[in-house]
Every structure is written in structure tokens, then in C-alpha cells.
Structure 1
Amino acid sequence: MFKPFRTAAVLGAGVMGSQIAAHLANAGLTVYLLDIPGKGSNKNELVETSFKKALKLSPPIFFTEKTARRVIVGNFDEHFDSVAAVDWVIEAVVENLDIKQKLMERLESVIRSDTVVSTNTSGLPIDAIAQGRSESFRQRFLGTHFFNPPRYLKLLEIIPTADTDPQVLERMKWFGELHLGKGVVVAKDTPNFIANRIGMYVTMLGLQALTQGYTIEEIDTLTGTIAGRPKSATFRTADLVGLDTLMYVASNLYPAIPHDESREVFRVPELLRKLVETGTLGAKTGQGFYKKQDRQILSLNPETLAYEPAKPLNLGDIEAIGKIPDLGDRLRALYRDRSRAGAFFRESILKTLSYA
């Protein structure tokens, strides 16, 4: 048995920081949500604005309105000392190594000697973020990578460093599973850890398939619910994530994995680069691989970059396969299929399993 966390501080009130704070509050913790100060007379302006936006998210991030009162907002200038009283500090600021390192230095001068510190980075090296900190700090430091939205997505990647105390790791696993309701996976401190590394690989395979004669609709049909994956599949997911974010992750991943035998899969395709350069960033700009126009969903023609109505699927008897109720039976039927659907599935699933 371990001592549960009762208080926490989340540093960074962006989309993830606010939602992590909410989920900790749902689990009964008192949470300080801090961010950089505003420039006006109200230094809490930025954190308050971010938190109000988070409160309007759908599905809701809090169990009840009362739960939201467990989150106390503040700023780094006036309220940073509040971290001295908490059991757990989670860093969720901008993905900039220098900024994170400076924040860790400031943290070390304030927190208790038994406070656990973690980072929610999705790709920066965990060990590098704690570089320059004392041995005691590094023993209590690790990665806790939540997924958006953290109230609803079950996965929690925990990434220890070579210096992380094994008891700190076990406590975090125990708390994540028992109190936060997570499915915890311990990951190595490698670029993008597990889920985003494999997820990016699968996304890039989908982009490659556009050059192999498959349409956006065909690829999303084959990488969606029929294969046991979310209905947003490949390209709707990319639009939701943001094409600029997708390109940023791939651009940072490629140089970080020089010995990866599948490294070339992660090279940013020219199509993705063109879309980002023209401000076509997905859902946040109203158009990406898909565009809604006059109540009709149009998809991108990768050759002309124009948006067109969906063409009929050329995937053999895909409807019959889709009606098979058991996922295992459905996947076996896809694997045996002799049409273009089966060819796509066999290549993508074997490559993905091999890479994983």
C-alpha cells in the first residue's frame, strides 16, 4: 500500500493542463492550476480565461459543478509558493525543453523533499527535462503522459528515467490505476514513447496509401471501426489533432531516431507540408483533409488540392465484412479478403505489428 496523493499542482493551464487538473479534482484531490501571469492588472487573466474555456468543453471534464471548486487557479508570479504544500506537481507547459528545464530549477527551490514531480510532455526526453537537478529531485521525477481528453481516455503512459526511485514508479502506477481509473503502461524514455510513436507510424502509413491509389474515404473506411479503431480513423483524426501539430511531431521525430529501421516512414510528405503552408490545418481552420460545405462533407483531392464529393468505394464486399459482429472474426475476414481492401489491411497490419 502507498500513501495516496491528496493535493497537486498543475503547471500550465492549456488544453491538457486544465483537463488533467479537472481529472485529479474528480478523483478527490485539491488542485492548484497555475500559469504565466497576464500583462494587465489581473495577473490571473490568462489562467482564468483558459479554465473558463475548459469548463465549456463537451463532453464535460468534471463529474459535477461542485467538483470544479477543488481547482484553485493562480499565476506563477503571485501563487508559485503554493506548490510547497502539494504532494504531486505535474508540468504541462509549452513543449520547449529550455522552458521546462528552467521551471524544474524553480520548482526544486520550493517543493518539499517528498513531493513527486512529473511532466506531461508527449515527446521531449524525460531525462533531459530534469537535467541539472539534484539526485533527490531526479529520484522523484518521471513522465506521466495523459491523453486527450484525460477524463475519458484510459491510457496513462508512465515513463521513469534511470534515476527514478522504483518506489516512486510503483506508487504512481498504483495511484493511476486505483484512484485515476487508468490503464497504466510503463514506457521507455524514447522519442514519443509508445502510443504516439506507433500512432504516428500508422498515420504515416495512411498518408502513404494516398500515393498508392486509395482515396481518403477508402483509407478511413479501412482504418476506422471495421478494424476496431475509432470512427475518426486516419484523416478525421488528423484534422482533429491539427495538421500543423502532426507535421511538428513528425518533423521532430525524424531527426531523433537515426537508427530506426523504419525512419523514412516519418519523413513529412509533401502533401502535408503544402497543406500546412497554405493554412489548411484541419478542424480549427474549417478545412483539412475534409471540409464541410453546405451541409455536405467534401474530401481533399490530393492531386489538385480541391475539395470534392466522396467517390464510391472500390473495396470489394466491404459492407458484408463490416457487418460481422465479432472484431476477431472481422479482422480475419479482412485479412483473407482478395480485393483492394484485403491488400491494404494485410500490408498495414503486418507493418504495424512488426514496428510495434
Structure 2
Amino acid sequence: MHAVSDILRRPMLLLFSLLLTGCAGVANQSAEPRTFLRGMLVQNAEGYWFEPCGLTMRHPIALMGEPLEREYARQSLGDGWPVYVEAFGRVSIKGVELTQPLLVGGSLKACDVDLPDIKLWAVAMRGNTVFELRERQIRVHYRDSLRQLGFKRPEGERLGAVRRWQQTMATGGGRSSHQLLMEVEKRDCEGPRGGWYALTLSAEVDGLFYNGCARLGDLQQWRLFTRYRTADTLLTRRLSLQLDPDGNAQLLEDYLNEQPVIEYSGRWQQADSGRLQLWLDSEEAAGSDSKLVFQLDLEGRLKLTHFHPAYGSELELLPSGKPMMEHHELDWWH
């Protein structure tokens, strides 16, 4: 009887072990860092290639999520024709993985559009109306009539794949008001020029209904992280850089000799071509060069672009914090 029990028990233990291993694998996979990628998707006889905005190198595509291949075939004008894409993905040894597409469609000029200070941008067919979700406001632009409404941004509601914002704005000394209901859903949408979007807009303003496509804004900041650090292989000192969304920065310098960590305050700003400028308030840290300029590479690392008297020319900082634009209202892809 005990022998039979042992025989039955072993397959159950094996099955239980496999389930645990599978769950751990899924958890580890979902915990891998992802990167916001934007650039040109190109196909030739060798396969698909990705050319990031602001960078000149071309990278092979190792993995593409739906509907990238379908939409590229629909929008490309032939072999080697570039199509603009935005996606969350990863950079592996094999190449670029575009796992979660956000937008497909457009030319190289699309790389010049950054939508600064706008968290979410949408355009509706009706009246050529634009909706902008900003830090403190939701703005409604009626481009055909050059009219604009600005609602105080309310707390967004999470309803499955839908995000909802609802607000009232009093006018005329409180005698009248404007009403806004805006919903953005993770659902395929085709724009007026044929572009594919991962987000769909539905809105009602003062009793009129609007439908269209939506996209993320602040495109430069989506590639940034809140913290960066030097690699563990650097044994002489450890640098840690913190970037705040408001433009403030803090640099921590540890010489790994049991002495107190040195703290420097400063400010940061993004520049063209994926560059980040950092100014440190301390003259001791800045030396004769008050500004440090970093290049943001495809994998999200910051690389010093010039020689600096305090940090040399090979300084590289790796992402170690959360994404700069991480927000519970815009987490359709988590």
C-alpha cells in the first residue's frame, strides 16, 4: 500500500515542481526591463531592421509583435521603404524585440515630433478636435474654429482596458458650465492618414460625441529612467544619478573607501538627437566644464559624449530605477 502511495506521490511532486518552475519563469520574464523604442522599421532581402530616432546605427529585428508585420506590409511603398513605429520592447543579443507596438505609420519626419509636456494626445475626426492630457489639465483644441477649453485634470478611473476622465468647468461666474467625459481604451484604431494606433479615444464635450485615435506624449521622457548608476565592474568609485521629472538632479559619488558619500545637486535637460545635458551646482564636481552631455543609447544607457576633467571620457551610466513616465493611469502595457 505504501509502495502504491509512493508511486502516485512522485508524479504529483513532479507536476507541482513543474508548475512552480513555470510560474517562476513567467514572473522572471515579466520582470525584465522594457524600453520605449521609436524609429524607422525597414525590410529588405536580409529581413527586418530598426533604425532608432536620433541614432545612425541599424539593428536587426529579433521579434515583432502583432500587428507590426501586417501594418508594415500595408503602409510600406516597397522593399527598403521605412515606416515609423513606436513600441515597448527590449534589446537582446540577437537584436531588437518590438513586443508591444503603440503606433505604426509615418515618415522620418515623425522622429521630430516629441509632444513635450503632453502625457496623452488624441485627435478626433469631428471638427478636427485635439484632446491633450497634461500634468494638471485636459485641453480640448477645436482647430477648425481656433477655440480651446481647459479642464482641471481629475483623477482617472481604471475600468479594465479603459481609462476615464470626467470633469466640469464653470464659466460666466458660475451661471453656465462645460462638461467633459473622455475615455481612452487599449483597442486598435486607424487614423485619418492610415496610421495604426494601439489606443482609441471616445469623448463627449457639452453633449457632442468625438471618436478618434490616441497616442502617448512626452516621447523623449518615455526613454528615461529616474535613476542611473555605474556598472558593478567599476571598482574605483560608484556614481549614482537621480533625475526628477521637474528637471532637478542629484549625483552621488562614492569612492568605496569608507568615506562619506559626496552629494551634488544640479539640473538636467534633454537636447536634440537623444542627448541629455546635466549641470552640477558644485564647481568642485564640475571642474572647468560646468556641463556634462550624455548620449542615450538604444538600451537606455547614458554615455558621456566628451572628455570631462572629473569623469574622463568613458563614463557610462546604466538604468537602475523605474521609468520616468511610469504612471498608473497610463499602464495599459504592464
TM-score, structure 1 normalization: 0.25
TM-score, structure 2 normalization: 0.26
Which one has the bigger strand percentage? Answer: 2
